[in-house]
């Protein structure tokens, strides 16, 4: 039931949806790269005549795919949006609005969540569309431009585990650099520092430390007798963490069929 609404739990325990996946930079850029490329490519209608074909510039549909899909949407923008719908939801849909003697006049995008594809007994596809207001509408396949993803399933759904790992690593990195994963250093004393005097000494050290951190002059940090400071260095496990983040970019590149360097993974 969860997958019907696009809520896909991953092995990492993170719920991956079309919306949450966009918070992973590699996923966002892959979607933009593919959809914007499709939208920028020239698109024309061709008429087959025997073994040859020629551009059907006089066909009513040529303007819809080459110039403007409707008065408020360019053809290129509609192709980008339908490609994005397919990558995020498994398919993109647009209704063919006809006038007169079945002449195609406009293409209107249909929200993926409002469209259901069905098949008649003879295998002919048709679509049930539920508008925001009003009754459900049945459309013939002749009146719907159908743009499916591979297998009719969103790459986000198929690659949910890899994307989930990337989301976990992204969250951990955010906490790490916010100071929540590991302290920047350790201040210690070989002798016990209890009581009121010890608490006051520790308070003074923390105050001096914060002042020292905010000072860009590079002056040395001076501690009371017996106190030492040891900076926390990045261990090999943290270096491996960085490698894991880079590897997840490669995994996401494989999911969308994009070369890693086009997602700015250059290592």
Q: How confident is the model at residue 227 (pLDDT cuts 50, 70, 90)?
A: low
pLDDT at 185: 67
- The yes-or-no verdict on residue 3 having pLDDT over 60 is no
The predicted pLDDT at position 1 comes to 46
- Can you give the residue ranges of every domain in the chain? 3-110+147-158, 183-231
pLDDT: which is higher, 200 or 161: 161
Range 245-250, long-range pairs (CB < 8 A, 24+ positions)? 245/166, 245/169, 245/170, 245/173, 248/26, 248/162, 248/165, 248/166, 248/169, 249/26, 249/166
Does the pLDDT of residue 97 top 90, yes or no? yes
**Tens-digit pLDDT profile for residues 126-153:** 999 998 888 999 999 999 999 999 999 9
Q: How confident is the model at residue 114 (pLDDT cuts 50, 70, 90)?
A: very high
For range 58-81, the mean pLDDT: 92
Measure the CA–CA gap between 12 and 137, rounded to whole angstroms: 40
């Amino acid at each position: 039931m969860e997958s019907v609404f696009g809520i896909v739990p991953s092995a990492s325990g993170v719920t991956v949806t079309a919306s949450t996946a966009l918070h992973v930079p590699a996923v966002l850029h892959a979607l933009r790269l593919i959809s914007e490329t499709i939208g920028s490519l020239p698109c024309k209608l061709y008429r087959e005549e025997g073994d040859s074909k020629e551009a059907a510039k006089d066909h009513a549909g040529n303007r819809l795919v080459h110039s403007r899909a409707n008065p408020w949407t360019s053809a290129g923008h509609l192709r980008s949006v339908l490609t994005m719908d397919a990558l995020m939801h498994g398919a993109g849909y647009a209704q063919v609005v006809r006038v007169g003697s079945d002449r195609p006049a406009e293409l209107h995008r249909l929200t993926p969540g409002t469209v259901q594809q069905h098949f008649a007994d003879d295998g002919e596809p048709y679509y049930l569309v539920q508008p925001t207001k009003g009754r459900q509408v049945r459309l013939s396949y002749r009146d719907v431009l159908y743009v499916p993803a591979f297998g009719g399933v969103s790459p986000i759904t198929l690659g949910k585990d890899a994307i989930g790992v990337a989301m976990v690593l992204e969250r951990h990195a955010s906490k790490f650099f916010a100071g929540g994963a590991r302290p920047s250093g350790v201040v210690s004393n070989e002798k016990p520092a209890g009581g009121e005097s010890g608490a006051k000494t520790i308070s003074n050290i923390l105050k001096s430390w914060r002042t020292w951190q905010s000072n860009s002059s590079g002056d040395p940090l001076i501690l009371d007798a017996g106190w030492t400071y040891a900076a926390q260095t990045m261990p090999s496990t943290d270096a491996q963490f960085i490698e894991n983040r880079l590897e997840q970019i490669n995994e996401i590149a494989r999911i969308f069929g994009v070369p890693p360097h086009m997602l700015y993974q250059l290592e």
